[in-house]
Amino acid sequence: MSFENKLAVVTGGGDGMGRSLAVQLAAEGCHVAMCDISPTGMADTLVAATAAASGDVRITTHVCDVSDEASLIAFRDAVLAEHQTDTVDLLFNNAGIGGGGSFVLDERDAWERTFSICWSGVYLGCRTFLPALMKSDGGHIVNTSSVNGFWASLGPTHPHTAYSAAKFAVKGFTEALIQDLALNAPNLSAHVVMPGHIGTGIAINSAAVHGADLADDPELVERGNSFRNEAPMTADQAGNVILDGVREGRWRILVGEDAHVLDMLVRDRPEKAYDDDFLAVMADQDVMKSLVEIAADDEAAERG
């Protein structure tokens, strides 16, 4: 399939995979409407996407909190008005943060903020844009889950409850949509994206969302930069994998070798997935290093 002359909505477009998706879509001649809570991040994405754009592509930016339905509705209305259309062809529910790792110890506000952005942002995004997607000749709903959508852990010392619960919900919801859309909206298809460790700014961005003063915590910033710069896969590479998966009509899109290996291990040993022996197998497969890095940065973001 071609993305040329279609309209794509991308949440979390101010950084990471959202930025990469916006830039790559624009390069393929796709009109893009992106949202984020960071105007600065979106301004940088707009520059990159405009430079990469192929043909007469329209790119718009919108400040939006995806966990708030009124904010999403305002975003949708602005998108349709600015792009002078009533139709959306692609919806990438990509926005997400970490935090709220422990259900027992962490503050309820942090837990619910993480869960709301990672789950409600997907659910409400689908609800809000469904009428416009229904008018597409061939629309796609692309929801970002995670490896933590099938393995709810970051190892034995780092609880990961809010993020994992949300990502499991995203995965289950998207899988359920496959049959629902086939029966009731056959012009639409659903895709669930499950990335491993991707080089993004999620660690630093999560800390900021939870109220951390990054200027007073250079160690946190250093860890966040390390998470981005030393990841086994870049955000641009992840964007390529995601768009190829949509183009090929695959509903299940694993992103990164670590995601493929972990998926295989969990499927092979489902009842052992949280045992120490399982972690030893992961270490043998060289999966654990990335997950430990994720855990350290997620905990730092969570503690603010």
Q: Which positions are catalytic?
A: 163
283 vs 301: CA distance, rounded Å: 25
Q: Indicate the DSSP class of residue 84.
A: T
How many helices, marked H, and strands, marked E, lie in the chain? 12, 9
Triad 96, 249, 258: Cα angle to 5°: 50
CA distances 258 to 198, 233, 261, Å, are 10, 9, 5
- Cβ(40)–Cβ(13) below 8 Å: no
CA distances 42 to 11, 39, 93, 282, Å, are 11, 5, 16, 37
299 vs 101: CA distance, rounded Å: 7
Q: How long, in residues, is the chain? A: 304
Query: For residue 142, which phi and psi values (nearest 5 degrees)?
Result: -120, 105
CA atoms within 13 A on the CB side of 130: 13
Task: Name the strands in the sheet holding 90-93, side by side, starting at the edge strand that comes first in the sequence.
Answer: 59-63, 31-36, 7-11, 90-93, 139-144, 188-195, 252-255
